[in-house]
Structure 1
Amino acid sequence: MARTREFDTEAAVSRAMNLFWVRGYEATSVRDLTQELGIGQGSLYAAFGDKEGLYRAALEHYRTTLAADALRSLEEGADTRSAVRGMLLGRIRLGTQDGGRGCLAVNAACERLPQDPSVRRVVRDMQDASRDALAEVLRVAVERGEITARQDPYTLAGFLVTFLNGLLVSSKITPDVRTLEPLVEVALAALG
């Protein structure tokens, strides 16, 4: 008779996500994970296969929670410029926490893409979702006359996602909100 799992896998994935986010994949050992999650190594392997499986689960959790929340806040914003500003500033604040943890997705792209092609797919899906949501918000803003149509909304959204990725890398190097916030205004100038 198989033993039932004696821990909450969703809570475990959330805790693992935070550990990977602060330390990175390579610097997080299986021992670190089992201690943080309060489970045995056998339970970790039974639930997730291996460390990479848990990492992929953590990335998925990040995508469906924090990344999804950022997109929802963008879509619920009153005016486009304020919504984009709020989304970018929110990501800066998140990225500068804990001495500059950045963004789990951007960190994964920098650290894991060569070793794990499945990470590329997860990160690309997140970036595509961000770009598509931004493009739709920008398209509607052009129709309303809130922003000028100097650039195609899809291209402008691609620029903002690329800017945000660079900003999140910078948040690891310079984890200072006051230094990074003024850069948002420069990016917002692209909205016209």
Structure 2
Amino acid sequence: MARPREFETDVAVGAAMDLFWRQGFEATSIHDLTRELGIGKGSLYAAFTSKEELYARALELYCSRHAGGLIELLSADTDVRSAVRGVLGSMATTDLDDPERGCMLVNAATERPGDVATANRVRATMTLIESVLAGALERAQARGELAADKNPVEMARFLTTFVQGLRVMGGARVGAAFVADAVEVALRALD
């Protein structure tokens, strides 16, 4: 008879997310994971089958937590410029405060571009963010907050790309003034 699981799977995924986020997939060993999660190798494999599966679940958790906040803010019926400024400012502050950690989504895209599951998760999350941004920009255009000659989908693609570049630059420790200047230029694209 199998022993009952002595740990909460969701808690373990959260701890693994933090570890993968700090160290990356390749630098995180099974030993690191078992130590961080406080479980044995057998329990890890019984619950998650592989390091790759645990990473996939950790990345999914990251995407739901971090993209979820962004989506919630942009889905609100508020001034788009203020919402975008808030999103960009929040991301910049986070990255400047902890440049070594960066964005797990960017880290995943750059560390594991050849892994189909990772690439699919990154693409799905970016597509969702782009879609929510486009919807917010369409609402702004209908209210007269965005010029009629602006294409909301193109603007959403630009902003999605800009956000990821901003995350990379935060990790490059470019400083608050650099990031603030870049955000102001990006916001002018909405004029």
Q: Smaller-chain TM-score range?
A: over 0.9
Q: Could you tell me which residue of structure 1 aligns to residue 19 of structure 2?
A: 19
Q: Offset at 1:25?
A: 1.0
The answer (yes or no) to whether the contact 1:138–1:157 under 8 Å persists in 2 is: yes
Query: How much identity, in percent, do the aligned residues show?
Result: 47
Distance 1:171 1:118, change over 3 A: same
- Greater CA drift, 137-146 or 178-187: 178-187
Q: Could you tell me which residue of structure 1 aligns to residue 103 of structure 2?
A: 103
TM-score by length of 1: 0.94
Q: Could you tell me which residue of structure 1 aligns to residue 87 of structure 2?
A: 87
Q: Could you tell me which residue of structure 2 aligns to residue 144 of structure 1?
A: 143
Find the aligned partners of 1:41 and 1:178 in 2 and give their Cα distance: 46
| 1:76-99 CA distance string (max 9 Å, x none) | 263110001111111222333433
The answer (yes or no) to whether the contact 1:75–1:83 under 8 Å persists in 2 is: no
In the alignment, is residue 28 of structure 1 matched against residue 28 of structure 2?
Answer: yes
Q: Could you tell me which residue of structure 1 aligns to residue 57 of structure 2?
A: 57
Q: Secondary structure at the match of 1:109?
A: helix
Find the aligned partners of 2:170 and 2:102 in 1 and give their Cα distance: 6
- Greater CA drift, 46-55 or 166-175: 166-175
Q: Could you tell me which residue of structure 1 aligns to residue 74 of structure 2?
A: 74
The answer (yes or no) to whether the contact 1:13–1:58 under 8 Å persists in 2 is: yes
Q: Could you tell me which residue of structure 2 aligns to residue 166 of structure 1?
A: 165
Query: Could you tell me which amino acid in structure 1 is paired with residue 182 of structure 2?
Result: L
- Greater CA drift, 25-34 or 170-179: 170-179
Distance 1:84 1:8, change over 3 A: same
Distance 1:27 1:175, change over 3 A: farther
Find the aligned partners of 1:188 and 1:118 in 2 and give their Cα distance: 33
Give ranges in structure 2 of 5+ residues lacking alignment: none
Q: Could you tell me which residue of structure 1 aligns to residue 188 of structure 2?
A: 189
CA RMSD of the aligned region, Å? 1.4
Distance 1:177 1:45, change over 3 A: farther
The answer (yes or no) to whether the contact 1:81–1:188 under 8 Å persists in 2 is: yes
Q: Which runs of 4+ in 1 moved over 2 A?
A: 93-100, 175-179
Q: Secondary structure at the match of 2:99?
A: helix
The answer (yes or no) to whether the contact 1:34–1:41 under 8 Å persists in 2 is: yes
Q: Could you tell me which residue of structure 2 aligns to residue 180 of structure 1?
A: 179
Q: Offset at 1:177?
A: 3.7
The answer (yes or no) to whether the contact 1:101–1:171 under 8 Å persists in 2 is: no
> Number of matched residues?
191
| 1:48-93 CA distance string (max 9 Å, x none) | 1111111100111011112111111222263110001111111222
Find the aligned partners of 1:98 and 1:169 in 2 and give their Cα distance: 12
Give ranges in structure 1 of 5+ residues lacking alignment: none
Query: Could you tell me which amino acid in structure 2 is paired with residue 108 of structure 1?
Result: A
- Greater CA drift, 47-56 or 126-135: 47-56
The answer (yes or no) to whether the contact 1:112–1:119 under 8 Å persists in 2 is: yes
Q: Secondary structure at the match of 1:99?
A: coil
Find the aligned partners of 1:11 and 1:178 in 2 and give their Cα distance: 38
| 1:141-177 CA distance string (max 9 Å, x none) | 0010012133210110000000111111111111634
Query: Could you tell me which amino acid in structure 1 is paired with residue 109 of structure 2?
Result: A
